[in-house]
A and B are shown apart, each in its own frame.
Chain A
Amino acid sequence: MTGGESVIDHGRHGCGVNVAAYALGALDPGEVDGFRRHLADCAVCRDELASFEQIVNVLPMSAPQYRAPESLRRRVVHTVAAESRMTPEVRFAPASRSRLRALRLPRPALSFGAAALALAIAAVVVVLAVGGGSSPSTRVIDAKVTGQGTASLRLYGGHAELVVNRFAAPPAGQIYEVWLQRSTGVPAPTTALFGVTGSGQASVDVPGDLHGVTHVLVTREPAGGTSAPTHAPVIVAPLS
């Protein structure tokens, strides 16, 4: 027992030993359901939990405060703006295979892998070490775009940002989704979903670990994104 542990009598009711751990989100997953059932029957624990939750709610204030990165702001605001133009049924539907079936989306005429490979082979890659407004540590990679518009990938400090211009807006009920393609395996989904402005512009941070990634891909997908691509890529940015 340490210095302060005798100050407070915490044995006034024996069942409360889990309350603090629950309030902090630190009960083992297997204990949670049982404790919630106990809460339904124990007013003492409910009261104690309510007071602890007030404390837990202010714990974030003790963390050092940082400004949210501008790229994060743009990404979230762009995605929400694009999705706000969709119907609520589409916007609020979960991104699941069942929803894809419900929407009766056409299967891509060209297999995703073949299309990616064809686009990658045809891609013209320009790597600029310096200049064009970039910092010395920024690499800019021009991406291959299917259709109108241009796209480039900016690499800096271990992060990547995809910038598109004069790019077509996704069809109604759809959104652009960013994927990471490694040398083997299927493309991995990211949380990056985006639409474009009225002039066809967008910039989106590419999340996730880029180690081993050979291409950053973009496809159009149902709103909310998917876990596996349903269309051929419209943007291919080679990293290797």
Chain B
Amino acid sequence: MNLRPRPDPLALADEDLMERVRDGDARAFEVVFERHADAAFSLAYRMCGRRAMAEDVVQEAFLSLWRSGARYDRTRGSVRSWVLGVVHNRAIDLFRRDTVRAGKDVSDDAAVERLQAPEGTEAEALRRDDATQVRGALQQLPDDQRQVIELAYFGGFTHTQIAEQLHLPAGTVKGRMRLGLTKLKLSLGDPSEAMS
């Protein structure tokens, strides 16, 4: 019998790892987690402003991916964007479950470790360049368009809540979101490769 050894999970692409995760391979899941945990935690912390809450969100998100059999569809984008989408949805679910939103706990900033990463792989360097480009494109937006996009995406607020906060008609808020995203699209071109 000619049995070929299974490749080391570290050598596999995310998409191939997800097929193993679907089969209940904990080692494959661990590799996926290690590759994306920092980005997931960073997004959750940006949204929640509190370390403990961010950890809960990331844990819930990853365990739900594991327990759901990881219904990842590679035709709908990269594993990273899919994972971050789950984290984003979990955080919003949490916000909308709790009627009182706790603010940012600035003392947590000292408790979390900022990623400096002056060294690293070529892929990490490219990712940092892409991040710089995205931040730059956001900064170039008019303040009122950037504000509604950040309140919606990172704050988890609906357009109605944003309109109430800013004392604006709901249509104006929606219009600014659309203008902002359109301008980001023009600035960034096709950003889909940045998330691979």
Contact = CB atoms under 8 A, between A and B. Distances in A.
Interface string A48-70: 00011011111111111111110
B39 A72 contact: no
A20 B178 contact: yes
B152 A65 contact: no
B-side interface mostly: helix
Contact of A62 (B33, B134, B174): B134
A69 B56 CA distance: 12
Given A16-B178, A59-B153, A65 B115 contact: yes
Contacts of B190: 54
Given A17-B171, A92-B68, A8 B182 contact: yes
A58 B194 contact: yes
20 contacts: A2-B142, A20-B182, A21-B173, A25-B92, A26-B177, A60-B43, A62-B134, A63-B43, A64-B114, A65-B114, A66-B45, A66-B112, A66-B113, A66-B114, A69-B41, A75-B59, A80-B30, A83-B67, A88-B24, A91-B24
Interface of B: 24-26, 29-30, 33-34, 37-43, 45-46, 51-52, 55-56, 58-60, 62-63, 66-69, 77, 81, 84-85, 88-89, 92, 96, 107, 111-115, 117, 127, 130-131, 134-135, 138, 141-142, 144-145, 149, 152-154, 156-160, 162, 171, 173-185, 188, 190-192, 194-195
